């Protein structure tokens, strides 16, 4: 093992997926040999270092990334709450942004219109929804984005970190709404570094390290999994 490959080896065990040379260019294998089956009622927590492949797995589950080998199959409607800022146009009004986000996450215009009152009420922004989003404070913007993103009905919910937005009051409301969404969805996959959080919301856990996954373990055995 020369110095370069040692460095590469070290890099592999700390952060990131596996780096490989391919026709002179470097490619990253973010996930490898992952086997996973989830059924309704499963709440899976993903834990691992930065770059261990948690987000890549979530994106693969959302259908955005296609695996180079093997297959990903999801039965049911998927909602990926990976980025609340998705599709936000700061010059558009709150209403327009809610509509846009709804369209992107797969709702029809009619469905959005039907749910608009409920979404608008939840944001608590009242007349501000008719104003451009750029006039909002960061907290208000987060409220709007959260309400729009969580308006979907889904069977599989993917989340990169538990979402907590807004002031104390809103956080409570948001928490309730998120829990309802999780309950409604059969399956939750939640990536987080926070073990307490995973203990609270998940019943299963999987550890990722350098793109290689541990077996899916009961959440009560998380400490053993992390010690391993």
Which positions touch other proteins (CB under 8 A)? 59-60, 62-78, 80, 82-83, 85-87, 89, 91-92, 96, 99-100, 103-109, 111, 132, 153-154
Q: For 121-137, give the DSSP string.
A: HHHT-GGGGGSBGGGS-
Interatomic CA distance for residues 152 and 57, integer angstroms: 21
Q: How far is the CB of 225 from other proteins (least distance, A)?
A: 27
Cα separation of 107 and 152, whole Å?
7
Smallest gap from Cβ 65 to other proteins, in A, equals: 6
Contacts of 71 (CB under 8 A, 6+ apart): none
* Cβ-based nearer residue to other proteins, 81 or 182: 81
Of 5 and 26, the one with the shorter C-beta distance to other proteins is: 26
Contact of 207 with 218, CB cutoff 8 Å: no
From residue 91, give the alpha-carbon distance in Å to each of 116, 124, 135, 208. Answer: 20, 20, 9, 40
- Contact between residue 188 and residue 159 where contact means Cβ atoms under 8 Å apart: yes
The nearest distance, CB 113 to other proteins, in angstroms, is 13
Rounded to a whole number of angstroms, the minimum distance from the CB of residue 131 to other proteins is: 12
Nearer to other proteins, 153 or 167 (CB): 153
Minimum CB separation from other proteins for residue 82, in Å?
A: 5
User: What does the chain come to in residues?
Assistant: 228
As measured in angstroms, the least distance from the Cβ of 44 to other proteins is: 17
Q: Which is nearer to other proteins, 133 or 198 (CB)?
A: 133
Q: How far is the CB of 207 from other proteins (least distance, A)?
A: 23
Q: How far is CA 7 from CA 26, 35, 49, 160, in A?
A: 15, 29, 18, 30
Task: Rank residues 95 and 170 by Cβ distance to other proteins and give the closer one.
Answer: 95
Rank residues 131 and 173 by Cβ distance to other proteins and give the closer one.
131
Q: Which is nearer to other proteins, 21 or 69 (CB)?
A: 69
For residue 45, how many C-alpha atoms fall within 13 Å in the half-sphere facing its CB? 26
Beta bridge partners of residue 190, listed in sequence order: 45, 159
User: Does residue 41 contact residue 186 with C-beta atoms inside 8 Å?
Assistant: yes
């Amino acid at each position: 093992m020369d110095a370069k490959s040692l460095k590469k080896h070290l890099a592999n065990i700390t952060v990131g997926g596996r780096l490989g040379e391919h026709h002179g260019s470097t490619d990253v294998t973010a996930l490898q040999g992952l086997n996973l089956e989830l059924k309704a009622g499963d709440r899976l927590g993903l834990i691992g270092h930065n770059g261990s492949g948690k987000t890549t797995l979530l994106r693969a589950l959302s259908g955005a990334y296609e695996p180079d080998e093997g297959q990903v199959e999801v039965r049911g409607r998927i909602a990926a709450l990976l980025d609340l800022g998705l599709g936000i146009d700061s010059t558009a009004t709150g209403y327009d942004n809610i509509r846009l986000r709804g369209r992107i996450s797969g709702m029809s215009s009619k469905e959005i219109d039907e749910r608009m009152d409920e979404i608008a009420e939840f944001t608590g922004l009242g007349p501000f929804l008719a104003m451009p989003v750029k006039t909002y404070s960061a907290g208000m913007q987060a409220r709007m984005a959260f309400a729009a993103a969580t308006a979907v009905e889904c069977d599989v919910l993917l989340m990169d970190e538990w979402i907590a937005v807004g002031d104390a009051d809103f956080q409570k409301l948001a928490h309730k709404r998120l829990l309802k969404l999780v309950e409604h969805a059969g399956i939750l996959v939640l990536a987080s570094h926070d073990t307490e959080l995973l203990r609270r919301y998940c019943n299963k856990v999987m550890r990722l390290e350098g793109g290689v996954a541990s077996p899916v373990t009961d959440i009560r055995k998380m400490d053993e999994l992390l010690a391993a």
